Amino acid sequence: MSFSDRLQALRRQRGMTQERFAEVIGYSGRTIQAWENGGVLPPVKVIVRIADYFSTSTDYLLCRTDYPVFVRRNEIGEPWDGEGEIHAAAPSGEQRELSPEEIAQVRVILAEHQEREWRLGDKGTAG
């Protein structure tokens, strides 16, 4: 599976057309089509935005892991606070609870992400 395959699968799971996803992410439909056809990769900051939008990891999008981590958000839309359940989902859609070691890794990744956001402010996520 490639970045283009995963992007297309995530978009389709949400029931979105390329045009609608283009509107959401702030790019043209042709650009989304090029990404999904495997012609080009988006810039790193856009890959981060895509991962955030689909509540998955950049590692999953970039095929460094086959298990996307879907971060749950609380009732008011704030990111997961490290308490409660977190699951990994295989490309097939099957879910399993993460092991304590995997949860520790997620916590480290979230802490690094929060620190990076704090250092960069909105500059790190601007389109």
pLDDT band at 55 (very low <50, low <70, confident <90, very high): confident
Residue 97: predicted pLDDT:
75
Q: Write out pLDDT tens, residues 57-99.
A: 888 899 888 877 665 554 444 554 555 555 555 555 666 777 7
Q: Write out pLDDT tens, residues 1-24.
A: 899 999 999 999 888 899 999 998
Q: Do residues 95 and 89 make contact, with C-beta atoms less than 8 angstroms apart?
A: yes
- Which residues, in sequence order, are bridge partners of residue 38? none
Residue 91: predicted pLDDT:
56
**Residue 67 φ/ψ region, left for φ over 0, alpha for ψ in the -120 to 50 degree band, beta for the rest:** beta
Residue 19: predicted pLDDT:
93
Number of domains comprising the chain: 1
Residue 34, pLDDT > 90, answer yes
Residue 127, pLDDT > 50, answer no
CATH classification at residue 66? 1.10.260.40
Q: What is the dihedral of CA 63, 113, 49, 3, to 10 degrees?
A: 0
Rounded distance between C-alpha atoms, residue 80 and residue 70, angstroms: 10
Residue 125: predicted pLDDT:
44
Rounded distance between C-alpha atoms, residue 74 and residue 89, angstroms: 19
Q: Which domain holds residue 109?
A: 3-124
